[in-house]
Chains A and B, each alone.
Chain A
Amino acid sequence: MNKVVAGADEAVRDIPSGAMLMLGGFGLCGIPENCIAALVKTGVNNLTCISNNAGIDGFGIGLLLQTRQVKKMISSYVGENAEFERQLLSGELEVELVPQGTLATRCMATGYGMPAVYLQAGYGTEVAEGKEIREFNGKNYLLEHAFDSDFAIVKAWKGDRMGNLIFKDTARNFNPLMAMAGKITIAEVEELVEPGELDPNYIHTPGIYVHRIFKGSNYEKRIEQRTVRKKS
């Protein structure tokens, strides 16, 4: 079994305009930098992107916004991006804001084969508008649906040819959830190894969920808020 593709260009080659994509990452941490760059090159448009954030101006999903390739964002927090705000206010871009835990759990439901889940977040707020509400044990929950995502694009630390993945630190975030949720899942990894080199005890995403994998290159790994303390 060999799921390895040559690189990002080949991995995203058949993603068509109008596709619904999941993109892993939290802020700029653990985002699939190589695939985003490749999507900019293909020029596909009218994309619906499910991603916790929308990148920043000139990096991450911000690159796809700059080139007007995104029709709709489904995110929990989009505050770091002036171009995003401009497109939103001018009506060029649709946005569905989803509470972060609900977003994560809807991704999880997709990967676990569950059509919908009942969640508390947003009850009594505008997020609840139009949603079925059901009471369990005296508390009210909203019916939240799984996604029908065509492709999931994730970034892992290590992976093998069979698609098994290991994530690093807080770069894990949405990545393993989205990896499970794509009809086609593409993983870019920093280290690509042979089957057997990764200890099966430490696999976060079993290869069954991953269809294409490649070793990414030139990771920039930008930091949004560099906070440090001085050595005393």
Chain B
Amino acid sequence: MALNKEQIARRIAQELQDGYYVNLGIGIPTLVANYIPEGVNVILQSENGLLGMGPFPFEGEEDADLINAGKQTITTLPGAAFFDSAMSFGMIRAGKVDLTVLGAMEVADNGDIANWKIPKKMVKGMGGAMDLVAAAKNIIVAMQHTNPKGESKLLPQCSLPLTGVGCVRKVVSDLGVFDVTPDGFVCIEHAPGVTIEEIKAKTAGRLTIAAYVKEMVV
């Protein structure tokens, strides 16, 4: 069985290490915050100017001046800090943020990513995505392996306008976990009940299966 969104988020949460500063994008990446392993303390960065983002506020305690990058009302945790947008992207650019998790429409086997624009259909802007992918030192993409038509989103090259080039290090999809290497995608884990044959059939980009491939624990 392919994984659901929560399971993808749960698997990505296993990548978190104690003391990490982490930026979570909108969608599946946001769910990662719900599955941070016991004993692992991470500090969440929101690129509109906050380190130490906490959970949603209790009903009636929401504050219009306190939102995340998805414009949702949030809270702060003890030790939080606010800053302006230039400093926010400055700390990302300077490699201070340990991990960035974001969604994608397409990823190529050389690490290129497309996630901001569908010509003539969706032209809403890139927000902070181009800055994050250009500069973050470790990028994990959370995505569905195929589009609603069943076509692979892990490609030899992106067909949509690029967000960044050669930047994705790892993809966690509903079918498995893939490192992005000079040899293309390397499948290191498969979802429970998903066969290697299915992964091969649904991956259009260059793909090798690691000798040590194992079943995902979610």
Contact = CB atoms under 8 A, between A and B. Distances in A.
A170 B153 CA distance: 35
B69 to A, nearest CB: 8
A191 to B, nearest CB: 13
A108 B93 CA distance: 15
Q: Provide the main secondary structure of the chain A interface.
A: loop
B83 A225 contact: no
Contacts of B57: 227-229
21 contacts: A26-B67, A77-B126, A77-B127, A99-B126, A100-B85, A105-B89, A120-B135, A124-B112, A125-B164, A168-B65, A169-B76, A169-B82, A170-B65, A222-B64, A223-B67, A225-B72, A227-B56, A227-B57, A227-B73, A228-B58, A228-B62
B49 interface: yes
Given A75-B125, A88-B123, A228-B73, A104 B88 contact: yes
Contacts, number: 178
A227 B84 contact: no
Contacts of B86: 101, 104-105, 107-108, 177
B124 interface: yes
Contact of A221 (B65, B127, B164, B165): B65
B59 A230 contact: yes
A12 interface: no
State the majority secondary structure of interface residues on B: loop
B180 interface: no
A27 B126 contact: no
B162 interface: yes
Contact of B84 (A104, A122, A228): A104
A29 B65 contact: yes
B84 A174 contact: yes
Nearest to B124: A79
Interface string A163-196: 0000111111111110000000000000000000
Contacts of B129: 99
A149 interface: no
A180 to B, nearest CB: 10
Interface string B106-149: 00000010000000000111111111001100000000000000
Given A79-B125, A124-B162, A125-B163, A223 B62 contact: yes
Interface of A: 26-30, 52, 75-79, 88, 97, 99-105, 107-108, 119-127, 157, 167-177, 204, 221-231
B42 interface: no
Contacts of B83: 172
Contacts of A79: 124-125
Contacts of B93: 101, 119-120
Q: How large is the interface on B (under 10, 10 to 19, 20 to 34, 35 or more residues)?
A: 35 or more
Nearest to B46: A170
B59 A169 contact: no
A113 to B, nearest CB: 15
A100 B67 contact: no
A78 B124 contact: yes
Interface string B65-87: 11110111110100000111110
Nearest to B69: A26
A28 B48 CA distance: 12
B63 interface: yes
A124 B163 CA distance: 8
A77 B64 contact: no
B55 interface: yes
Given A125-B161, A172-B84, A173-B84, 5 more contacts: A77-B127, A97-B123, A221-B65, A228-B62, A230-B58
Contacts of A230: 58-59
A100 B126 contact: yes
Contacts of B71: 26-29, 224-225
Contacts of B82: 167, 169-170, 172
